[in-house]
Amino acid sequence: FMGPNSVGVAEGAKWKGLRTAIGKSLKPKYIRSLYSDMRECTKSIVQWLNEKAKEKSIKVDDGEESGNMNGVIVDVAQFLHALTLDIVCMTVFQEKLGAIAAIEKGKPDEVVAAFRYASDEMARRCSSTNPLDWMYWLSARPKQRKLNHANSIIRDRVEKVIERRLKRGFLDSDDDLLHHMLVEAKNKLKPKGEKNNNSVSKTDFKDPSVSNVIIDNVITMMWAGHDTTAAGLSFCLYRMSVHQDVQKRLREEIIQCKSDNGIPSQDPLPHELVMKLPFLNAVVMETLRLHPPALWTQRGMTQDVTLYNETRDKSVTIPYGSNVFLPIYAVHHSESNWENPEKFTPERFLDKDGNQDNSKYHPFAFVPFGGGNRVCPGQTLAQFEFKTILSTLVEHFHFSPVKSPEPKGDYHQPTIKSCGMFQDCVDNLLHITSI
């Protein structure tokens, strides 16, 4: 699905080169420059939801809001996947994919649907005991044909968007992923002894050895960059719909920040202030603790490694060739690391004065993006995007749970779908009312 040239499966010098190129495109300065684009994308969803909310009046009674008001019941997972996909495409090649526009027209974008199917099918195969599921060349099988079709939809759209980006041309100062990937691929293929050249043109992309590397890694970034953030936001909105006190406190923090800085209520907060909101950060961190983007990760040992305890009187050696699994979900839900680990308590990341406090937990008790050299390269972008979208939505809408049709159920429960090492929050129906 991601291709043999993806940074997700590359090793050694090849991985290092790709990781460097991706790191250059995800520098904090460039990510901050995307704030207005992220706000514009989110604003499109805000306008769409406002129009939907005007269509009918719904009854809300969740302890914080009650009575009849304009609102709508929406599966938030659907529009979040479209929103995050358009945003990550702005990061990759400075152009929206059109996923939000498709939602506004009343139908999900085919690329979003293709990504969802491919993710689900990969997850199914990862846990399958049927050897035929591991033979991807058996294209005559119905599920393989469907997977091939999904891959074709994604790759065709990516190639078209890249072609338009190439036609617009490049400047040496461009910081998007496509530019850095082209430079990296081009310089890897240069004759020995020739100096690196940061200038690229559309002719560089015609070399299949260059274009295949670019496409594989663009798809990797599109998939990893939108799927996990959308899932985290979906989990977060559900948690806050149930925990109305958290939602209310977050909204009040945003309003108070505007008041303290003399910002009109209708104007957006600048990114410098959004990223410094302590309770917003705590809500995001608590969501990532309870629902980490990856449930686990693994490393293959390239040499013998000896681990010692704190007093260094005991040790264990992990031999070369071993696979080591880090069960992120288990670490995040362990009573050894967290008090009342199953409770949604953002305050655990704050001190008594309401400021961020990371001293309460071991650094590796909270690893939603992994750690070490192979830590997720998109973690800064993901958290920046998460906070931008969440703060905008909470400022404009009130979210409340949908009453369950089940006699014994209090609220409609979203479906938590495990996609191999990843998880998603789908069928997440919430009452959304305009503020």
When comparing pLDDT for 210 and 198, which is higher? 210
Phi-psi region of 431 (alpha: psi -120 to 50; beta: other; left: phi over 0): beta
* pLDDT above 60: residue 58: no
Calculate what percentage of the chain has a pLDDT beyond 90.
44
Which phi and psi (to 5°) does residue 147 adopt?
A: -65, -40
pLDDT of residue 105: 86
When comparing pLDDT for 116 and 304, which is higher? 304
User: Would you give the distance in Å from CA 42 to the centre of its chain?
Assistant: 15
* pLDDT above 80: residue 193: no
Which residues, 6+ apart, have CB-to-CB distance to 370 below 8 Å?
Answer: 294, 297, 326, 328, 376
223 and 115 Cβ atoms separated by less than 8 Å = yes
Query: Residue ranges for the binding site for heme?
Result: 376
When comparing pLDDT for 161 and 182, which is higher? 161
* pLDDT above 70: residue 190: no
Q: What one-character-per-residue DSSP string does 298-312 give? A: EEE-SS-EEEE-TTS
Separation CA 290–CA 331 (nearest Å): 10
Query: What is the bridge-based pairing of β-strands 422-426 and 415-419?
Result: antiparallel
What tokens does 381 get?
Answer: 């972008």
Which residues, 6+ apart, have CB-to-CB distance to 156 below 8 Å?
Answer: none
* pLDDT above 90: residue 395: yes
Provide mean pLDDT across the span 353-364: 92
When comparing pLDDT for 69 and 233, which is higher? 233
When comparing pLDDT for 262 and 201, which is higher? 262
**Rounded mean pLDDT of the chain?**
86
Which residues, 6+ apart, have CB-to-CB distance to 70 below 8 Å?
Answer: 53, 54, 56, 57, 58, 433, 434
What tokens does 359 get?
Answer: 């001293």
Answering whether pTM is above 0.85, one says: yes
Write out the E strands in 43-188. Answer: 57-61, 66-75
pLDDT of residue 191: 61
Which band of pLDDT confidence, cut at 50, 70 and 90, is reported for residue 274? very high
44 and 104 Cβ atoms separated by less than 8 Å = yes
pLDDT of residue 298: 86
Name the residue among 157, 177, 215 with its Cα closest to residue 94.
177
136 and 106 Cβ atoms separated by less than 8 Å = no
DSSP annotation of 423: E
What tokens does 329 get?
Answer: 């979900």
Write out the E strands in 219-304. Answer: 297-300
Query: Which range is least confidently modeled, 82-96, 124-138, 338-352, 375-389?
Result: 124-138
418 and 385 Cβ atoms separated by less than 8 Å = no
230 and 386 Cβ atoms separated by less than 8 Å = no
Provide mean pLDDT across the span 338-348: 97
Exposure string of 281-299, with b = 16+ CB inside 10 Å and e = fewer, is: bbbbbbbbbbbbbbbbbeb
* pLDDT above 90: residue 262: yes
416: which strand partners? 425
Q: Dump pLDDT digits (tens) for 35-56.
A: 999 999 999 999 999 988 877 6
Per-domain residue ranges of the chain = 12-294+327-434, 295-326
pLDDT of residue 324: 92
Other Cβ atoms less than 10 A from the Cβ of 381: the count is 23
Domain 12-294+327-434, CATH homologous superfamily name and number: Cytochrome P450 (1.10.630.10)
What tokens does 245 get?
Answer: 């006190």
* pLDDT above 70: residue 379: yes
Query: Residue ranges for the binding site?
Result: 376
425: which strand partners? 416
pLDDT of residue 77: 92
Please tell me whether residue 26 adopts helix, strand or coil conformation. coil
> H or E stretch including 424?
strand 422-426
Burial (Cβ within 10 Å: 0-12, 13-18, ≥19) of residue 263: middle
User: Would you give the distance in Å from CA 89 to the centre of its chain?
Assistant: 12
Provide mean pLDDT across the span 151-167: 86
* pLDDT above 70: residue 393: yes
